[in-house]
Amino acid sequence: MSKELHIALVQCPLVWENPQANRDSLEKTIQTLSKEVDLIVLPEMFTTGFTMSPANIPLEEGQRTLAWMKAMASQNNAALVGSIVFGDTGNYYNRLWFVESDGTTASYDKRHTFTLAGEDKVYASGRRKLLINYRGFRICPLICYDLRFPVWARNTEAYDVLIYVANWPEKRIAAWDTLLKARAIENMAYVIGVNRVGADPSGIQYVGHSAVYDVLGNSLAYSEVETVLYATLSKKHIEEHRQRFLFLEDRDQFTLEE
């Protein structure tokens, strides 16, 4: 069991509704990453941008991107995580994939679809959280708007790391900054948030603010420009602070209804 997890956060612009162009660009970036990296975190809808027209994306692109993620994970001996437009069983999903270097895959469908943009009208909503045991760390990955709902992120599963992949716009970036830090503090877990930069065709601007916070809410990484951010997560840090501060044991008890 590893005591450290080395993370790379890819904060990048996205080419609108062009999966191949985005895969090509990201592949070039991934090839430059440190060989120590265990986990590569990509933004929400990293092959298209935050499109509300999933029918513009050929259905086969979902499987192509999943195959690409497997190839990148194998070549770099690291897991990849990020969400894409994915058609399945007659519905479209904003589906996050966690792909390990041995080809193992797991998926999470965004629970809180963004009603302000009409995401709920074109993408089906997920109903279950995803918990992944990876290289000694228990990881819970979520997507963008999920960040606003602390009950869904509530750490009842003793996870170590909470991940948010996002296309979070500049006009509401203060909420992103504040809520990422809050989720770390209240769940006593590392929180990783990866946002994009650039603009989409409607003129919506994205300014990054990708970040990593430790279990006390201290900042380990942060940027507002196109870049790769690195952070090292420590199992010892989690264990020592949870043993010293028993905040999770004092939680209110309740059940989330479906």
pLDDT tens figures, 100-129: 999 999 999 999 999 999 999 999 999 999
Closest CA to 172 of 140, 139, 204, 138: 204
In order of start, what are the domains of the chain with their CATH numbers?
Answer: 4-250 (3.60.110.10)
110 catalytically annotated: yes
Check 110, 119, 129, 181 and give the catalytic one.
Answer: 110
**Residue 37, SS3?**
coil
Neighbours of 35 (CB within 10 A): 8
Tokens of 141: 């990955």
Closest CA to 95 of 122, 64, 118, 123: 123
Task: Please spell the DSSP secondary structure of 69-122, one letter per residue.
Answer: HHHHHHHHTSEEEEEEEEEETTEEEEEEEEE-TTS-EEEEE-SS--GGGTHHHH
**Residue 186, SS3?**
helix
144 catalytically annotated: yes
Q: Hey, which residues does 142 pair with through a beta bridge?
A: 164
Check 61, 70, 140, 144 and give the catalytic one.
Answer: 144
Contact 72, 81 (CB under 8 A): no
- Taking only the tens place, the pLDDT of each residue in 126-180 is 999 999 999 999 999 999 999 999 999 999 999 999 999 999 999 999 999 999 9
Straight-line distance from the first to the last Cα atom of the chain, in angstroms, rounded to the nearest whole number: 35
Check 17, 44, 61, 119 and give the catalytic one.
Answer: 44
- Taking only the tens place, the pLDDT of each residue in 45-101 is 999 999 999 999 999 999 999 999 999 999 999 999 999 999 999 999 999 999 999
Contact 233, 160 (CB under 8 A): yes
Contact 87, 56 (CB under 8 A): no
The model carries a pTM of 0.97
